[in-house]
Amino acid sequence: MKGETRKIQFTGKSSYIVSLPKPWVEQMGLKRGDPIIVSQRGTSSMLISLPHERATGDTANSSEITVSIKRRDAPAVTVRKIISLYLQGYSTIHVTWGDSPIGATQRAAIKDTVRHTLMGAEIISDSSRGITIQILVDTLALSVSGAFKRMLHLSKSMLADAMTAVENNDTGLARDVINTDDEVDRFGFYIIRQLKIAVDDEGVLRELGIGNARNCLDYRLVVKSIERAGDHAVAVARILIEVDSGINKKLADRLRPMAEYASRTLDDSCLALFTQDYALAERTVGTGDLAKLEKSVLESAQKARTEESYRARRMAEDIRRIAEYASDISEVVLNMNIERVTSLATRSA
């Protein structure tokens, strides 16, 4: 519907009213006496929306979907389909396979995905004809901000544990780092699901505290950056496990400041996101200081044995990538807040 100009009317002794376009009222199925929500958006806009329960309506049918899989499908293909439907916001997913039952490997992959990857998902029916998955978590049970903070904490812990594993040649701790990556993914999938629902539902968008639908894309980029930071912490741990041998103490001591820098940058960039702090984000963009720390590692690696030198270089590259993803988050924060900062500067001029 195109924008329409309507005049403000004055009624009674103190009330101002404005009429609503008839096509919109009819499209929403509204009638006289129905409640609507009027909320301020910025300094010159008002948003008219339906109450959350009215906007979503009875979604028992629209939020259910059936996906058919075949016995010859690879488990990874089946898992990807289920994850995609979870991210799309469906609350009930029926997995069927007709008259040809799927194999044990596929079945195990589905159950493992539900239990370890999809937050709030439970298998409520398991028979010879199919599996039914229901998403029981309340869309507002965990805020997007809370999920982001949990992801950040896990990613930083993974990097710290990976470095401790390297310093102590502790392959057991390295495996714990790898296993923790599943938790990061769970929160990532949950956030993406919430953002998708928020884009389609203004009530959820408002209750999640996200400024506008456009910001959902920005938050999606942040999710990806935190996930990738965790992936590189896993990569450091895998290097240790692959050869079952660490690096000498001098190289480990050189890597530690790099890891601390990357962790600090990741922390500051996310703090800038949570507080919408443009100045902090600006200070966090770029990884200039990291180059000096990486140079120190590479110089020490040149003096080490070939095998140790190779492992140290790979670890340094992964740590650098973590800092670069942190810088990417800061750039997202800058983009999200540039209009606000520019507007403030213009008004104060």
The residue ranges of every structural domain in the chain are 9-56, 64-135, 144-334
Q: Which two tokens stand for residue 122?
A: 């439970």
Q: Which two tokens stand for residue 303?
A: 């003096």
Integer Cα distance of 129 and 98 in angstroms: 6
- pLDDT digits (tens), the chain, 349 positions: 556 788 888 777 777 888 888 887 877 778 888 888 776 655 566 777 776 554 444 433 348 899 999 888 899 999 999 999 999 989 999 999 876 788 889 999 999 999 999 998 999 999 888 999 999 865 556 778 888 999 999 999 999 999 999 999 999 999 999 999 999 999 999 999 989 888 877 777 777 777 778 888 899 999 999 999 999 999 999 999 987 667 888 999 999 999 999 999 999 999 999 999 999 999 998 877 899 999 999 999 988 888 889 999 999 999 999 999 999 999 999 998 888 878 665 655 5
CA dihedral sign of residues 142, 146, 152, 154: negative
Integer Cα distance of 87 and 196 in angstroms: 7
Question: At CA 211, angle to CA 210 and CA 215, rounded to 5?
Answer: 75
Q: What does DSSP say about strands 130-135 and 121-126: parallel, antiparallel, or unpaired?
A: antiparallel
Do residues 297 and 241 make contact, with C-beta atoms less than 8 angstroms apart? no
Sheet holding 64-68, edge to edge: 64-68, 92-96, 130-135, 121-126
- In sequence order, the β-bridge partners of residue 93 are 65, 133
3-state secondary structure of 21: coil
3-state secondary structure of 66: strand
Q: How far is CA 189 from the centre of its chain?
A: 6
- One-letter amino acid identity for 308? E
Residue that is written with structure tokens 């159950």 in the block: 111
Residue 25: CB partners within 8 Å, gap ≥ 6?
none
Do residues 137 and 107 make contact, with C-beta atoms less than 8 angstroms apart? no
DSSP state of 247: -
Write down the pLDDT at residue 27.
Answer: 76
- In sequence order, the β-bridge partners of residue 15 are 11
CA 144 → CA 147, 170, 204, 212, 273, distances in Å?
5, 34, 11, 14, 12
Write down the pLDDT at residue 58.
Answer: 40
Please give the CATH topology (third level) of the domain spanning 144-334.
Methane Monooxygenase Hydroxylase; Chain G, domain 1 (1.20.58)
Write down the pLDDT at residue 264.
Answer: 95
Calculate the CA dihedral of residues 337, 340, 346, 349 and round it to 10 degrees: -80
**Class of CATH domain 64-135:** alpha beta
Write down the pLDDT at residue 210.
Answer: 76
